[in-house]
Structure 1
Amino acid sequence: MTKFGAGRLWFAVTAAVVAIGIIVQLVVTATTTEGFFPDNPDRVLNVFAFFTIQSNLLLGGTTLLLALGAASDSTVFRTLRLNGVLCIAVTGIVYHVALAGLDELSGAAALTNFLLHTATPVLGVVGWLLFGPRDRTDREIVGWSLAFPLLWLAFTLVRGELVGFYPYPFVDVGELGYAQVLLNCLLVALLFLALAFGATLLDRRLTRTTVER
């Protein structure tokens, strides 16, 4: 199998794992009674408010296009591709550093937790390192990539004020106050920026290596 074929297979597997993880999560949410929202469809729809789900959707959508050979070289796709990789990396890091162990999960809930917080971050980052596509990241793309996490944060804080729900403890204004929440988000933003600029430099180096071969 050529590297091109292996890449498309990797991307297809990544998209499939994302799909399975999200579908299982929706089923688990729909069939349990725990949580902030007592009734469906509010319970199920609330799943999409989580950064984890949004990150997995970005990763799954872009890898599906890459697997199908339908990805473009547009600024929009390049931004979404970088967002998918960076956001899923942040998801994995923040979960395992700050959130793992807060809930005791079993069965299908443990499965979807593993798929969406561990498997897809590994598949997403390793897939980008191995198969790229290369030479798709620069300062302009990094700048555009900031839009999604900022919009998610704004939506989360405004929605939290309106309905009283915050998807993660570190953004819970009701418990921590705005000063601590904004400080927490600043730390995550610095992590995101470090990964973004690191990815840009690494992309250039990997591109040169590919060209030299």
Structure 2
Amino acid sequence: MTTSRIGRTWHTVTLVVAVVALVLQLALILSGDNILDSTAAAGRLEQTRRYFSYFTIQSNFLVAVSMWLIVRDRTGTQLFRVVRLASLIGITVTGIVAAVALPPSPNYTTGSLVCDRLLHVVVPALAFVGWVAFGPRHRVTRQDLLPSLIWPVLWLAATLALGPFVGWYPYPFINVDQIGLGRTLVNCAVIAVLFLALGALALWADRRLSRERATMSA
């Protein structure tokens, strides 16, 4: 478990940064700002729906939820373990994809650029480093791995199913209209493998870090 004051402070800071970034981005959208140059022609209600449709937004939200549970010492249930693992996998994918395939738009306003960096860089870094350095440990099991993948799989399925009806996809690498169904399915398969690999890596790392901490405490 996380018992150090530094660890609790780290998780609290992560919670605050994630919440501030999420709220600020939503406020900017409601004030007429756009995201990835894709919302300018949409109505305010559609802009808001698209905001909640982004994997980045959902993964940051799960990070905030898991951080709140840790700060409140509510870490003893499978629900926490699943949410924690799902948030870790999701926010890591967010950071990796942002670094590899989603540079900031040159048309961003200052506010949107700040939110973009917070959501895609700062929160992923805080969440990942916090998990490695402060845990809590013994919170990743084989029984939690598949349940933690339900959310990203449902997100991907819902995004692809809804896309043809609304004429919009949140990311270019799953935009069927632009790259075709075949390329999209290949990208989805790559993403699925990445999800599974990160989950397995988290399982291995949690056990390894737990043993090292036990050895240091002995």
CA distance in 2, matches of 1:125, 1:67: 16
- Which string of whole-angstrom CA distances, capped at 9 and with x for unpartnered residues, describes residues 96-123 of structure 1? 1011145442410110001000000000
The residue number in structure 2 matching 1:115 is 118
- Which string of whole-angstrom CA distances, capped at 9 and with x for unpartnered residues, describes residues 159-211 of structure 1? 11221110000111111122111111111221222111111111001111122
The residue number in structure 1 matching 2:158 is 155
Structure 2 counterparts to residues 12-161 of structure 1, below 5 A: 12-32=12-32, 34=34, 35-36=38-39, 38-69=42-73, 71-161=74-164
Instruction: Report the AA paired with residue 83 of structure 2.
Output: L
Greater Cα offset, 96-105 or 28-37:
28-37
The residue number in structure 1 matching 2:4 is 4
The residue number in structure 2 matching 1:206 is 209
CA distance in 1, matches of 2:107, 2:194: 27
Segments of 5+ residues of structure 2 without an aligned counterpart are none
Q: Does 2:163 align with 1:172? A: no
The residue number in structure 1 matching 2:200 is 197
Q: Is the 8 A contact 1:30 1:44 kept in 2?
A: yes
CA distance in 2, matches of 1:206, 1:133: 10
CA distance in 2, matches of 1:104, 1:189: 31
Q: Residues 33 and 131 of structure 1: is their aligned pair in 2 closer, same or farther, counting only changes over 3 Å?
A: closer
Q: Is the 8 A contact 1:18 1:115 kept in 2?
A: yes
Instruction: Report the AA paired with residue 55 of structure 2.
Output: F
Please state how far the C-alpha of 1:33 moved relative to its aligned partner. 5.8
CA RMSD of aligned residues (A): 1.6
Q: Is the 8 A contact 1:91 1:117 kept in 2?
A: yes
Instruction: Report the AA paired with residue 179 of structure 2.
Output: L
Relative to the length of structure 2, the TM-score reads 0.91
- Which string of whole-angstrom CA distances, capped at 9 and with x for unpartnered residues, describes residues 19-41 of structure 1? 11111111221222653452222
Aligned residues: 211
Instruction: Report the AA paired with residue 201 of structure 1.
Output: W
Q: Is the 8 A contact 1:7 1:67 kept in 2?
A: no
Q: Residues 149 and 116 of structure 1: is their aligned pair in 2 closer, same or farther, counting only changes over 3 Å?
A: same
- Which string of whole-angstrom CA distances, capped at 9 and with x for unpartnered residues, describes residues 127-166 of structure 1? 1001111011122211111111100001101111221110
Q: Helix, strand or coil for the counterpart of 1:177?
A: helix
Segments of 5+ residues of structure 1 without an aligned counterpart are none
Q: Helix, strand or coil for the counterpart of 2:7?
A: helix
Relative to the length of structure 1, the TM-score reads 0.93
